[in-house]
Structure 1
Amino acid sequence: MKTLIAYFTIKGRAEEALKFYQHCFGGEILFIQRFSETSYEVSESYKTKISHAEFKAENIHFYISDGFEKEAVNFGNGIGMTINFDIEEEHQAVFEKLKVEGEVTFELFQTTIDSSLVCVIDKFGIHWYLNYKKNQTS
């Protein structure tokens, strides 16, 4: 079995992002390692930044980092995270939280496959596609 886990680099704001995602999704921060705990050469002010952290809430699982001190981070629209919901109210509640200080790229609409879809770029530049599929069979 293989598992794909997203890895977010949120330059200088990883800790803030972790708290934000915990607020949005619930769940827990499983691990945090700061640059001061690694062998990477960083400035004194960067030692408190996160070199690696792990977050998990139900089936939402990702890693996050502030990234290397001298490395630029560029965001684009080529990758997005999709979350499928089976409860409509939860779908709406997560959307309301993620859109704070973010940008809704398309409002909630009904797709041709009997689902409701909305897309938001959160305040950290992550693209989220939130899908609620009606009449699920599983």
Structure 2
Amino acid sequence: MKLIPYLNFDGDCEAAFKFYEQVFGGKIGDNMIYAGSPMEKEVPPDWHNKIMHISLTIGDQEIMGSDAPPSYFKEPQGTEISIQLEDPDKAERIFKALAENGTVTMEIQETFWATRFGMVTDQFGTPWMINCFETT
């Protein structure tokens, strides 16, 4: 079994996934738009070039997403995407990138359980938790 986070956006999925590709060093794979698909008639004409489905591979992990049709989009609630790292410098870099134009819930810092931990909602509305457990 594999669990894959699926992120929904309100029209800025392509920009978000290009940003995530840069931040996480991943590679965008599948990238389908509504135009020319069976879903084309389900979205307004100005959404035809929006993302119907996209995937991003980061190492051996994957996230997927789409621009949810306007009547279906809901802001994320009650969940965060948790990132587990072993390198504090990398944790700091990723947190800083996600925080740019976003909202920091908890500054990245040392905690009793982690070398670094922080919480942020990025500029696209996706909530993240950065957990760094440094190994020696």
Deviation at 1:114, TM superposition (A): 4.3
- 1:33 alignment partner in structure 2: 32
Deviates more, 1:106-115 or 1:122-131: 106-115
Matched, 1:123 2:123: yes
TM-score, length of structure 2 as denominator length: 0.90
Q: Within 2, Cα distance between the matches of 1:34 and 1:114?
A: 40
List runs of 5+ in structure 2 lacking aligned partners: none
What are the residue-to-residue correspondences of 1:83-98 with 2, within 5 Å?
A: 83-98=83-98
Provide the rounded CA distance (Å) in 2 between the counterparts of 1:113 and 1:69. 40
RMSD: 1.5
Listed as ranges, the matches of 1:34-49 within 5 Å are 34-40=33-39, 41=41, 42-49=43-50
SS at match of 1:54: strand
- Runs of 4+ with deviation above 6 angstroms: none
* 8 Å contact kept, 1:46–1:69: no
Distance 1:114 1:121, change over 3 A: closer
**In the TM superposition, what whole-angstrom CA distance separates every residue of 1:49-70 from its partner, at most 9, and x where no partner exists?**
1100111111441111001243
Point out where structure 1 has 5 or more consecutive residues left out of the alignment: none
The one-letter amino acid of 2:117's match is L
Aligned residues: 134
Conservation of the 8 A alpha-carbon contact between 2:121 and 2:127: yes
Give the TM-score taking structure 1 as reference length. Answer: 0.89
Distance in 2 (alpha carbons) for counterparts of 1:108 and 1:74:
24
Worse-superposed segment, 115-124 or 4-13: 115-124
Contact 1:79 1:127 (C-alpha < 8 Å) held by counterparts: yes
Q: Hey, what's the Cα distance between the residues in 1 that align with 2:22 and 2:130?
A: 16
Which residue does 1:5 correspond to in 2? 4
Is 1:100 the counterpart of 2:118? The answer is: no
Q: Does the CA-based 8 Å contact 2:9-2:73 persist in structure 1?
A: no
2:16 counterpart residue number? 17
Deviations along 1:24-82, one digit per CA (max 9) or x if unpaired, are: 11111011010013101133221101100111111441111001243232232x11011
